[in-house]
Amino acid sequence: MLPRNNKKAEMGMGTLIIFIAMILVAAVAAGVLIQTTGSLQNKALATGKATKQEVGTSINALELFAEDGTDQSVDYLYMTVKLSGGSDPIRFTDTLLTLNLDNTSADYEYNASIDCSNTGSMSAGGDFGISYQITGTNNKAGYLTKGDVVKICFQSPRSIGEGEDLKVNLVPMVGTPLVVEAAIPDLIVDKRIAVYP
């Protein structure tokens, strides 16, 4: 025969209350943990999306040319651009264009009323306009979307002479800025001058 232990299990109302309290504490802790996990997941998704836009969105410059050509200087600049593969659309109203010359610079904002085929609608160092050369399948006015090829036009704050260096920055609100550094040719013989590439 086995010896008998005189140990008895805890019984009664007090034990039941403690047991229920432990279950409630575990349930509350699990709820807080689930809520925190959900919140962190949402923040991680938002951060990932913002990072993809910032890193994955960029613009390619296809061409930069200048016009006027009188008095061996140019006043009007035209830059042809498109989105890089995998980029999100860029809204031109959220984009800043800057022109840096040897002794001056200018900032430009998008103005939908500027006609790139009419230099009379441009003002020196104020706004830039756009003209769609090719429209993509998801084209939307005032945006650069996949498949679009856009000509950006703007007027320099002063005449740019032969051999002068210039730098054009196109800075979208989200994405990688486009920087084009070039120089006006040493000899201007035509009305239209290729600057880049």
Span 104-148, pLDDT tens digits? 999 999 999 998 888 777 777 689 999 999 998 999 999 999 999
What pairs with residue 167 in β-bridges?
Answer: 100, 181
Average of per-residue pLDDT values in the chain? 87
Asked if the structure places residue 47 within a domain, the reply is: yes
Gap between the Cα atoms of 130 and 137, Å rounded: 18
Q: With 0.85 as the threshold, say if the pTM is over it.
A: no
User: Are both 124 and 46 inside the same structural domain?
Assistant: no
User: Are both 155 and 74 inside the same structural domain?
Assistant: yes
Comparing 68 with 186, the larger pLDDT belongs to: 186
Residue 180, domain extent: 58-196
Band (50; pLDDT cuts 50, 70, 90): low
User: Are both 182 and 139 inside the same structural domain?
Assistant: yes
User: Are both 78 and 167 inside the same structural domain?
Assistant: yes
User: Are both 42 and 72 inside the same structural domain?
Assistant: no
Strands (E) across 51-191 are located at: 59-68, 73-83, 90-91, 95-100, 105-110, 127-134, 143-144, 149-161, 165-172, 178-183
pLDDT in tens, 170-189: 999 988 899 999 999 998 88
Give me the CATH number covering residue 69.
2.60.40
pLDDT in tens, 14-24: 878 888 899 99
Asked if the structure places residue 127 within a domain, the reply is: yes
Asked if the structure places residue 92 within a domain, the reply is: yes
Asked if the structure places residue 2 within a domain, the reply is: no
Of the ranges 9-13, 18-22, 25-29, which one carries the lowest mean pLDDT score?
Answer: 9-13
User: Are both 118 and 141 inside the same structural domain?
Assistant: yes
